[in-house]
Amino acid sequence: MTILSLEQRLQAAEPLFAEVWQTLAASLQAAGIEQGVAMAGTPHSRAELREDSYARSHSLYAEWRSARGAYQGSILVHGDGLAFAEFDVLLAHPRKPNWVIEAVTAWGRSGAVKSELRLLPALGA
């Protein structure tokens, strides 16, 4: 079994990163959030290969960070192509006044990515 380098894995994952980002953005748009997520869909700030000590497989981990370096979210792509991503939002839900959108998450494989919002009750709700 050939282990791809970090750069090779990042390049191979670009289409999946774009699909995941589009799915995350679509969930936010459906909730009524049109702005506030000003960034490219590809996480470039920090990436690494992580070994699963049990399965002995390597997963690609990458982070989204702001221009100032603040953590915004991450994506983990397993060797079999299964991905999980989350992106921090921390905004009041525009259509549900008693809720805050903590984050938006996505999971799946290329061509079958699903997404949902992670909500928290607003303080005092």
Chain position carrying tokens 């997520």? 37
pTM above the 0.75 mark? yes
Which class for 89: exposed (0-12), middle (13-18), buried (19 or more C-beta within 10 A)? buried
Task: Report residue 31 as tokens.
Answer: 């909730």
**Alpha carbon distances (Å) from 32 to 65, 76, 87, 119:** 23, 27, 16, 14
Q: Mind listing the pLDDT tens digit for each residue in 41-73? A: 566 678 999 987 777 888 999 998 887 888 899
Handedness of CA 49, 79, 82, 38 (dihedral sign): positive
**For position 39, what pLDDT does the model report?**
52
